[in-house]
């Protein structure tokens, strides 16, 4: 198995983003070129079509969502719609935005810090039980997270933590995959001689970690943060089983409750669409801007195979 991961793969990872595409064969013969461009165009339409529909639909009233061509504008009124989404039910959507930022933002930040410390410890110290800890972390990577939601509910229900912010936040700050990435990155990029030099200079271990290791590991940390952010943002099962007060919901859970009540309150069709639009657009922009960080970090992940 180690044969598949050449020595170049791991240490080269941080620099890959800087490297340009291999010069390889640039020009394909014309018929192939046409096929290539056509296939890529079809793929682009496929991936962007639902988002395009969302942008159009966000400008429409509920009537127009049903009664007009979904792929073109019909009496657009985007700002009015957004205003209604935000003010509906005592500004509940704003609570959901704040909660999402708390769960995904603060959760991912804490998860990254914990993963960095644990990964650094596993990479740079030798102690009894190191391998046992690492193996159980790996088992955590392979365990399906939704298979964990129900057991977490049973336990948190027992200790009275359900329907609190902690119920979603505590499981969110644990990222075994982050520990795995941080360990690999720390092993290949944090130099032992540098640590020894710092120790000779009298630096304590905590100072070495916060002042030195964290800075060296920052490319990996950005990746861990993004992974965890999207992971928490995507995890629907956990808040669904844990929370019953709709003022504590994240956006995803809130929108599905609106979706469920559409039969009784038809305006909610428009609010669901508008709410989805408001939550998707900032993330789409963030994706485009942060794309290169994903690439850098994913190389670390791929050496795992």
Residues 69-128 that bind another protein (CB under 8 A): 69-71, 114-115, 117-118, 120-122, 124-128
Does 234 interact with another protein (rule: CB under 8 A)? yes
Does 246 interact with another protein (rule: CB under 8 A)? no
Does 11 interact with another protein (rule: CB under 8 A)? yes
Does 260 interact with another protein (rule: CB under 8 A)? yes
Q: Which stretch binds another protein (CB under 8 A): 53-61, 74-82, 85-93, 214-222?
A: 53-61
Does 151 interact with another protein (rule: CB under 8 A)? yes
**Distance between CA 81 and CA 98 in Å, rounded?**
20
**Distance between CA 167 and CA 161 in Å, rounded?**
6
Is residue 305 within 8 Å of 4, Cβ to Cβ? yes
Maximal C-alpha separation, the chain: 74
DSSP 79-117: HHHHHHHHHHHHHHHHHHHHHHIIIIIIHHHHHHHHHHH
Does 3 interact with another protein (rule: CB under 8 A)? yes
Does 218 interact with another protein (rule: CB under 8 A)? no
Q: Which is nearer to another protein, 51 or 94 (by Cβ)?
A: 51
SS3 state of residue 282: helix
Of 302, 266, 271, give the one whose Cα is nearest residue 87: 271
Residues in the chain: 305
Identified binder of another protein from the candidate list 173, 217, 221, 268, rule CB under 8 A: 173
Does 138 interact with another protein (rule: CB under 8 A)? yes
Kindly state the smallest distance separating residue 83's Cβ from another protein, in Å.
21
Q: Which residues contact 18 (CB under 8 A, 6 or more apart)?
A: none
Identified binder of another protein from the candidate list 82, 86, 203, 298, rule CB under 8 A: 298
**Distance between CA 282 and CA 47 in Å, rounded?**
17
Does 271 interact with another protein (rule: CB under 8 A)? no
From the number of C-beta atoms within 10 Å of its C-beta (0-12, 13-18, 19+), residue 305 rates as exposed
Q: How far is CA 44 from the centre of its chain?
A: 22
Long-range contacts of 139-147 (CB under 8 A, 24+ apart): 140/174, 140/176, 141/176, 141/177, 141/180, 145/231, 145/235, 145/237, 145/238, 146/235, 146/237
Does 206 interact with another protein (rule: CB under 8 A)? yes
Q: Which is nearer to another protein, 81 or 124 (by Cβ)?
A: 124
Identified binder of another protein from the candidate list 53, 215, 218, 267, rule CB under 8 A: 53
Q: Which is nearer to another protein, 7 or 90 (by Cβ)?
A: 7
Kindly state the smallest distance separating residue 89's Cβ from another protein, in Å.
18
Q: Which stretch binds another protein (CB under 8 A): 4-12, 79-87, 89-97, 214-222?
A: 4-12
Q: Which is nearer to another protein, 57 or 95 (by Cβ)?
A: 57
Q: Which is nearer to another protein, 95 or 190 (by Cβ)?
A: 190
Kindly state the smallest distance separating residue 95's Cβ from another protein, in Å.
17
């Amino acid at each position: 198995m180690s044969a598949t991961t050449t020595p170049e793969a791991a240490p080269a990872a941080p620099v890959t983003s800087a490297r340009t595409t291999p010069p390889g064969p640039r020009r394909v013969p014309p018929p192939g070129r046409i096929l290539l461009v056509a296939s890529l165009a079809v793929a682009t339409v496929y991936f962007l079509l639902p988002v395009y529909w969302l942008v159009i639909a966000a400008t429409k009233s509920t009537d127009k969502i049903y009664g007009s061509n979904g792929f073109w504008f019909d009496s657009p009124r985007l700002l009015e719609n957004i205003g209604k989404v935000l003010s509906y039910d005592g500004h509940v959507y704003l609570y959901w935005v704040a909660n999402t930022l708390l769960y995904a933002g603060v959760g991912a930040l804490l998860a990254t810090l914990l993963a960095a410390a644990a990964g650094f410890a596993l990479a740079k110290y030798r102690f009894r039980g190191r391998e046992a800890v690492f193996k159980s972390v790996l088992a955590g990577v392979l365990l399906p997270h939704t298979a964990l939601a129900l057991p977490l509910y049973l336990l948190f229900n027992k200790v009275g933590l359900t329907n609190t912010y902690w119920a979603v936040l505590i499981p969110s700050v644990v990222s075994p995959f982050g520990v795995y990435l941080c360990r690999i990155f720390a092993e290949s990029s944090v130099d032992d001689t540098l640590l020894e030099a710092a120790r000779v200079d009298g630096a304590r271990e905590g100072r070495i970690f916060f002042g030195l290791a964290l800075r060296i590991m920052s490319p990996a940390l950005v990746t861990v943060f993004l992974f965890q952010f999207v992971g928490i943002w995507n995890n629907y099962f956990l808040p669904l089983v844990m929370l019953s007060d709709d003022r504590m919901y994240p956006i995803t859970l809130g929108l599905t409750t609106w979706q469920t009540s559409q039969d009784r309150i038809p305006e909610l069709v428009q609010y669901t669409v508008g709410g989805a639009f408001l939550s998707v657009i900032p993330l789409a922009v963030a994706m485009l801007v942060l794309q290169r960080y994903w690439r850098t970090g994913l190389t670390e992940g791929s050496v795992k195979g």
